[in-house]
Structure 1
Amino acid sequence: MRRILFYLVLFTAGIVGNAQTEITTPELRAHIEFLTSDTNAGRYPGEKSNKKLVAYLKKAFRSAGLKTEKQGFEAPLRTKKDQPKKAPVKTWNIIGYLEGSDPELKDEYLILGAHYDHLGMGGGPSSKSDKIAIHHGADDNASGVAALLEIAEKIGAHRSEFKRSILFIAFGAEEQGLVGSRYFADNPTLPKERIKFMLNMDMVGRLNDQKHVYMGGAGTFPGGVELMKDLGKQAQLNPIVHAGSVGGSDHVAFYRKNISVLGMHTGGHPQYHTPEDTIDRINFPGQKMVCNYIYATLLAVANMPEIYFIPQD
């Protein structure tokens, strides 16, 4: 019996080891199940669940072989005009570091980001529903965080192929006005001039039948528009690529610092900012395709001879 158990453990470890090298739909689902669980109550900043979320994210980054750090900050909370103001709360950005393989280019960094907070029980100015109920935020933005963790895991397994270094950041308090990303952009954990590119994922779990992936900012780095179209074809996706149209999510703070950006999503839907944004609506095979598209993008950008900022009108 002991021998059987021993080989069972080895077999299980082998499965886990293989899974870590690639993005899988079961792992994407497991991350979203945790993030949208009732115990996390909509991932509102300053709640008890915040510390549990931070611990989960740090553990996932460490499992991918990354060095981790948490960056604390005070987040003001948005309220409706007829409601009393709330006191600011303490929350965090969670950061994973992966060093590049090139002796010179490893001093330059790409950022892959996604916000992990949501609207809690709703009722605030961002809610599109009058219901006071858990706003699960499966697509917004548990999907982006699941993608962040899975892509980090795959890059960790293929780190020797990436010449530049990468920061993986789970931002806090995005729904309160892009607070976490602005705080990091104003207080970077490394010299700002080393940050060459930021790719943000916000709602990447609802790929439609036309396989549209929407993005803005592709014109902010050399050859970006052509690159994203070519990689989209290889990924069997139909990207809608905008050179400008930088948009309104966490990558905006970096664009304003003259850093090349790309903001990616799979489109809006009626469940946005309502309690009905639930895991049963996620297209997991489609999300895996989007994740591999983003992985290919990071690999291409990490190995470009040169990255420089191109402003857009």
Structure 2
Amino acid sequence: MRYFTSPGAARAAGLRPCKRCQPDGQGLPARDTGLVERLCRTIEAAETPPRLGDLAAQARLTPGHLSRLFKRQLGITPRHYADAVRDERLKTALQATGRVTDALYDAGFNAPSRAYEAAGKRLGMTPGAAKGGGTGQVIRYAIASSWLGRTLVAATQKGLCAVQLGDDDRDLVAALSRRFAKARLEEAEPGSPYRQWIDAALAAIERPDLAASLPLDIQGTAFQEQVWQALRRIPAGQTVTYGELAASIGRPTATRAVAAACGANRIAVIIPCHRVIGKDGTLTGYRWGPERKAKLLKAETGTRKPIP
């Protein structure tokens, strides 16, 4: 076995990069991109989540190799993608059917206990509460001043579900109420775990490096969560275009869908959609105003960005 200090030194010795995984490439080979996309469609069409071994056999790969391909392109494993698809089905079925039990089986869960476990982790509420638009769910919130203006932070028992920026406290509460129309809103008590998360979120607005450790209750679709996870991987001080963000999740032609997912983000700053800019370098839209976006980018990069 020979060791080299750099890829260039290995090439000079007559070696070449692996043609299968292309370690020096900017993305997956086209054949692997197509393979992952086909397997995603297989997962989406299956009544119950396919086993990793079955997917690997279909792809003629080892399970480990297949998992690495998925993680490289989508940032998640086949199992996580299947879970997200099933959870999205559950949310849709809960709104469409009259019975919770029917929705659980329609979504592909083979036992109610598994559905309730998943709902607690992914929906932040029980299936019955999700069916009723958050009925019975309690959301604690607090409003404070930050350097971006009045800031409302809200949390469920699973984590932060909203960070909103504005100028008027009543408007902020009204927006939260519309977002969770049938949930019960309560102000977070000082010293409670909710208040600790809220205080940590306010601190992360001042120090972006603190945001990664915060628990989130995102409650989005599988595609939205994929985009939001990619947003959280953009380091403070850097920006990407919508096209670059779409390419990073293996959907280079889904620029508009990615932009829509950024616009649907309700957790300002913590999920940093402000780090996505237009192809020509302009700031484009921002739910909480282009001035705030410019301030955020200036604080993170030390340079002033043009306000369109």
TM over 0.5: no
**What is the TM-score normalised by the length of structure 1?**
0.27
Between Structure 1 and Structure 2, which shows a larger proportion of strand residues? 1
Q: Flag the structure with more relative contact order, 1 or 2, with Cα contacts below 8 A and sequence separation at least 6.
A: 1
Structure 1 or 2, whichever has the larger Rg, is 2
**What is the TM-score normalised by the length of structure 2?**
0.27
Between Structure 1 and Structure 2, which shows a larger proportion of helix residues? 2
